[in-house]
Amino acid sequence: MQFQKPYLSIAWDTWGFKDPTPVQTEIIPILRKHQDVVCTAKTGSGKTHSYLMPIMEMIDEAINEVQAVIISPTADLSEQIFKFFKMASAHSPQPIDIRLFIGQTDKEEAIQKLNVKQPQIVIGTPGRLHDLIVKENILKAHTAKILIVDEADMAMDSGFLTDIDQIAITLPKQVQIAVFSATIPVGMRPFLKKYLHQPLMVDLNPVDDHNLLIKHTFIRTKEQDKMVVFEKLLKVIQPYLAICFANTIAQVEMIYGWMLQHKMNAVMFHGDIPYRTRKQILSRIHHLDYQYIVATDILSRGIDIPNISHIINYDLPKDSSFYIHRSGRTGRIGQDGMAISLYDLEDHRYIDELERRGIRCVYREIISGELRDARPRQERSKRSLQLSETERQIRGKHPLPTKVKPGYKVKHAQKIKKAKRTQQRRGKSA
């Protein structure tokens, strides 16, 4: 791919890109034409570089004012984007002022620097950018030529859409806007209609794309304690690098504590861990210092972690779209991946929804220390429904007594068993 500034071709080669990804092929020409765009694409599709390169092309290094604003929902993702921009600018013959504005960093120091000079490229989280642009009016974003909203649906889920809205109000009416998101929720549409001018809609999220290299395995806990099944699973698999997802911080800490007790090479990652510590953890993860990462959905989107061989869902995420985000962390760059989920009876409708979305589910069970094929979930469900109807009829004739004596449960079970044998004999004689 050719770029308007020669140093960008050097940066492109340094990153090891041979051919542009589909999202880069589509988005780079659109942004070069200064058109607004809404792009739906999965994590790991090359989104960041699809807007990074056009922004670097349009920056006028001689003008010391804000020319581009990039908003992302988390400090970790903002840091990653910032590093990519700094890597590109390192090849520039002229310095480019790129600054990162995120929570849990020194706000007063940032204000002092802004009083001296404005940056040319601004990258940050919605909350901190809102403070500096809207509340403090110290970051002068009204000169920006382009606004990027990355992982927009994640920002909306985190309650940041109002902050982004108020930031967008301060920008010039002619500002170019590009929104990148895995999905476009209904709640985001008023924002898109309000600020974007005849945007091009680019959908690079094929329904069955996530199935190509990922094996989706489901293991029923069969009403056992989930940690017991989880322990059996970890004895069966040998991941190169696995992320174990849980839905709450408390569960993440519980699983991590159990792993430490069992001397497993693990680390935990969630939003209550201070940003500087998370930054250090990510650095160690990239150096392959761990085999297991126990995390909340803060790691399900955006942050680039290569070489993930397994995703383990200790809990299925509440929203089925997040299942796709989680599983999409593996099976990248031509590599196979496995997503393993623990489930129980109440999860049947959830899994039905995944299958309707094109996920090819495989059902396994752990027997004698091995993962073996299990009967299809629908077959087991049908059989259990038939048995439960028979049970209902028998138990209707033999209800539990209202007044009980010692040993009543054993006697009642014997009565039910005798009734079943009688019914079976009648069926044979008929």
Report residue 354 as tokens: 């995944």
Amino acid 263 reads K
**Could you report the per-residue pLDDT of 119-133, keeping only the tens digit for each?**
999 999 999 999 999
| CATH architecture of the domain formed by 6-204 | 3-Layer(aba) Sandwich (3.40)
Find, among 308, 303, 279, the residue nearest to 291 by Cα.
308
289 or 394, which is more confident: 289
In one-letter notation, the amino acid at residue 267 is V
Q: Answer whether 6-204 and 209-377 agree in fold.
A: yes
CB 54 within 8 A of CB 79: no
Element (H, E) at 194: helix 189-195
Q: Predicted confidence band at 375 (pLDDT cuts at 50, 70, 90)?
A: confident
pLDDT at 414 over 80: no
Burial class (CB in 10 A: 0-12, 13-18, 19+), 412: middle
CA atoms of 21 and 1, how far apart (whole Å): 11
Do residues 202 and 40 lie in contact, with contact meaning Cβ atoms separated by under 8 Å?
yes
Q: Where are the domains of the chain?
A: 6-204, 209-377, 396-430
- Choice between 374 and 78, residue whose per-residue pLDDT is larger: 78
C-alpha distances in Å from residue 401, one per residue of 90, 395, 396, 408: 81, 11, 12, 8
Start-to-end CA distance of the chain, whole Å, equals 78
Q: Over the range 81-93, which residues count as b (16 or more CB within 10 Å of their CB) and which as e? A: bbebbeebbebbe
Report the alpha-carbon distance of residue 132 to residue 180 in Å, rounded.
Answer: 23
Closest CA to 302 of 159, 125, 94, 175: 125
Burial of 9 (0-12, 13-18, 19+ CB in 10 A): middle
What pLDDT, on the 0 to 100 scale, is given for residue 424? Answer: 63
The per-residue pLDDT for 429 is: 52
Residue type, 94: Q
Contact 183, 38 (CB under 8 A): no
Tokens linked to 147: 């606004």
Name the residue with tokens 């995420």.
317
Average pLDDT over residues 261-276: 93
Helices (H), 312-430: 320-327, 348-356, 377-397, 408-429
Kindly state the average pLDDT of the residues 382-400: 51
Identity of residue 429: S
Predicted confidence (pLDDT) at residue 428 exceeds the cutoff of 70: no
Q: Which residues pair with 145 in a beta bridge?
A: none
**What are the residues facing 104 on neighbouring strands?**
none
131-162 pLDDT, tens digit each: 999 999 999 999 999 999 999 988 888 889 99
Q: With residue 254 as reference, give the H or E element that holds it.
A: helix 249-261
Kindly tell me if the per-residue pLDDT of 417 is higher than 80. no
Q: What fold is seen in the domain 209-377?
A: Rossmann fold (3.40.50)
Inter-helix orientation angle 275-286/75-89, to 10°: 60
Percentage of the chain modeled with pLDDT above 70: 84
What's the gap between Cα 318 and its chain centre?
12
Confidence of residue 409 (pLDDT cuts 50, 70, 90): low
- For residue 414, the one-letter residue type is Q
**Residue 46 — very low, low, confident or very high, per pLDDT cuts 50/70/90?**
confident
**What's the CA gap between 289 and 281, in Å, rounded?**
9
Q: CA of 94: how far to CAs of 57, 61, 81, 87, 113, in Å? A: 13, 7, 20, 14, 20
Q: How far apart are CA 409 and CA 391, in angstroms?
A: 16
